[in-house]
Structure 1
Amino acid sequence: MNALLPTALVGSLPKPSWLSEPEKLWSPWKLSGDELAEGRLDALALAADEQRRAGLDIISDGEQTRQHFVTTFIEHLSGVDFDRRETVRIRNRYDASVPTVVGAVSREHPVFAEDAARLRALTSQPIKWALPGPMTMIDTLYDDHYRSREQLAWEFATILNQEAKELEAAGVDIIQFDEPAFNVFFDELKDWGVAALERATEGLRCETAVHICYGYGIKANTDWKATLGAEWRQYEESFPLLQRSTLDIVSLESHNSRVPVEVVELLRGKKVMLGAIDVASSDIESPEDVAATLRSALPYVDADKLIPSTNCGMAPLSRAVARDKMVALVQGAQLLRDELSAGSPGA
């Protein structure tokens, strides 16, 4: 692995067309039963291989074994009824039909540990695994049991901590928690959001990351972004809290966003996973584009703490576009690496 500017994906990659409908977010599976179980692991191996061939330093599963980044985890928990659905407002942006919490939530068995062990067996490179964060989990459900967002979040944090410890035991080097809700619910973020996330990471020896983005390139998200004005400063709410937290890495959206790059300064001392690939567009960034995005952050984060990455997951894109974007990320990071070794970034 490159010691300087190690590259990684934030999350998802497109699934093969034989597994689910391509270029569609949260598409239903085309297989079932044993064929589905085998097909998901085959897709995981393909995703790992595509990342290796693109030259990425840190390998992930591309979320090939899950249909949705939140509900696939929740499906394995007791206390949640997926047949009893209610319509809720997701992150104050769009309505969705979601399952209902009907009793005490608990995890009877590991959810992703076997999949993570399979990924670990496929590569000697560092591997990263993503889990939903507590606040984003509660925002994807209707709660008819606890009737307290905070109490349910703490219950999920305990469950996530159990899962994370088993992922660590399976050989995962970085465990990432996805918390797009941190960009929306600022009062809860301050009152208990970061504390619940720290509970989810308690006792872990591997590196921990939190990913906060502005969402996939779906219409509900792009419409919301259009209301945010000339500069997106939501990170100013979470970054000071995360800078003081026990989390090791903070992942943010940068390229083609309206996030002022100087907000990265608020994370000084933490590792920063900087999004240098736009996942809301099929246009392929040039290596120079990637290098420029990364270079712009260097006044605010030490180079040895910068991890070039994508803005978010790439599930809705075509596999060819995702592959080309991965290559661009790797090549752009190498351009900046070469500049830094020559002692002249931006020259």
Structure 2
Amino acid sequence: MKKLLPTSTAGSLPKPNWLAEPEKLWSPWKLEGDALTSGKQDALRIALQEQQSCGIDIVSDGEQTRQHFVTTFIEHLQGVDFNLRETVKIRDRYDASVPTVTGPVSRPKSVFVEDARFLRQQTDQPIKWALPGPMTMVDTLYDAHYNSREKLAWEFAKILNQEAKELQAVGVDIIQFDEPAFNVFFDEVSDWGIACLEKAIEGLSCETVVHICYGYGIQANTDWKKTLGSEWRQYEAIFPKLQQSNIDIISLECHNSRVPIELLELIRGKKVMVGAIDVASENIETPEQVADTLRSALQYVDADKLYPCTNCGMAPLPREVARAKLSALHAGADIIRKELVG
């Protein structure tokens, strides 16, 4: 029998300080060559063990083998020059120096498949693997070739589909596409964003997720959130279309956000990964706080479709904080499980 309210993380977990500088995005590796390869595998094992010791049900690699949730995937593609950089505004929020698309994009070989195979060998639990979504990839680059966000997104969707099929073949149970850009570019989401996502999941039999958050707990994101007012209704623009899409699960941010919980009514019938852990704060949630978030969500999500989760990735947090937050997620879900079956 499938477990009620299976817990998981939205993505990254902090890296050990011997592998990369902690509490930092795009942190450079401290190892190189064969030592880096084995170091990444050791870190993946540790991330898995930490999830297991905290009682997490659907486990991941904690993104231990990548520096960044978008650019590490793009680094392995042809047609993108990382030495030719331009400054662009990412997510309409902050300037960043990004690589340039100089020619047709393609994937010469798989990117994460060996890492996923390694994770599969370590555990019998369900495993989830995160990939960047097409729109978020487009938004993290300067395009000097296609000169069209949509055209480039369709090319990325085809590449992601190749990767996703190979991940499924090595035993990944759930494939997640990270699309924080869906909370910003509503017209594009409607015009081609969801269609590109459906291209990326074409032909998959494993479960698929789209993760749409308000970003990591970094300064640029927390500053942006302060401008959003007392109600964050961004999801309202995209939920009705996602409800009609072929994506199985929608992952979103709830705890300590100003998202009106009733917006979940717009995706009723879908499975929902409810973010019940705030990744923008080092305060540790109590199990009861987690339970409160889940209780609120249960007004709009059937219990067999609710997956307690974190709001976003936790790479920028101290490891002991991330661990304590995962334990709170497990304990909070347990409170609700007992209420539901009791």
TM-score (norm 1): 0.98
For residues 289-342 of structure 1, the C-alpha deviation after alignment (integer angstroms, 9 at most, x for no partner) is 000000001110001000000000000111101110000000000000001112
Question: What residue identity is the alignment partner of 1:45?
Answer: R
List structure 1 runs of 4+ shifted beyond 2 angstroms.
none
Structure 2 residues without counterparts, runs of 5 or longer = none
Aligned to 2:193: 193
Q: Percent identity?
A: 74
Contact (CA 8 Å) 1:132, 1:177: kept in 2 or not? Answer: yes
Are residue 269 (structure 1) and residue 269 (structure 2) matched?
yes
Aligned to 1:111: 111
Shift of 1:33: 1.1
Aligned to 1:256: 256
For residues 25-48 of structure 1, the C-alpha deviation after alignment (integer angstroms, 9 at most, x for no partner) is 221111111111111111011101
Aligned to 1:138: 138
Number of matched pairs: 342
Aligned to 1:213: 213
Contact (CA 8 Å) 1:66, 1:72: kept in 2 or not? Answer: yes
Query: What is the Cα-based RMSD across aligned positions, in Å?
Result: 0.7
Aligned to 2:151: 151
Are residue 289 (structure 1) and residue 292 (structure 2) matched?
no
Question: What residue identity is the alignment partner of 2:17?
Answer: S
Q: Distance in 2 between matches of 1:214 and 1:170?
A: 31
Q: Describe the SS at the equivalent of 1:300.
A: coil
Query: How is 1:192-341 mapped onto 2 (pairs within 5 angstroms)?
Result: 192-341=192-341
Question: What residue identity is the alignment partner of 2:298?
Answer: L
Q: Distance in 1 between matches of 2:236 and 2:104?
A: 35
Contact (CA 8 Å) 1:116, 1:167: kept in 2 or not? Answer: yes
Shift of 1:2: 5.8
Q: Distance in 2 between matches of 1:96 and 1:312?
A: 20
Query: How is 1:28-67 mapped onto 2 (pairs within 5 angstroms)?
Result: 28-67=28-67
Contact (CA 8 Å) 1:2, 1:57: kept in 2 or not? Answer: no
Aligned to 1:169: 169
Structure 1 residues without counterparts, runs of 5 or longer = 343-347
Shift of 1:97: 0.3
For residues 189-209 of structure 1, the C-alpha deviation after alignment (integer angstroms, 9 at most, x for no partner) is 000000000000000000000
Q: Describe the SS at the equivalent of 1:241.
A: helix
Q: Distance in 2 between matches of 1:113 and 1:170?
A: 7
Are residue 21 (structure 1) and residue 50 (structure 2) matched?
no
Aligned to 2:120: 120
Q: Distance in 2 between matches of 1:13 and 1:279?
A: 11
TM-score (norm 2): 0.99
Q: Distance in 1 between matches of 2:25 and 2:195?
A: 31
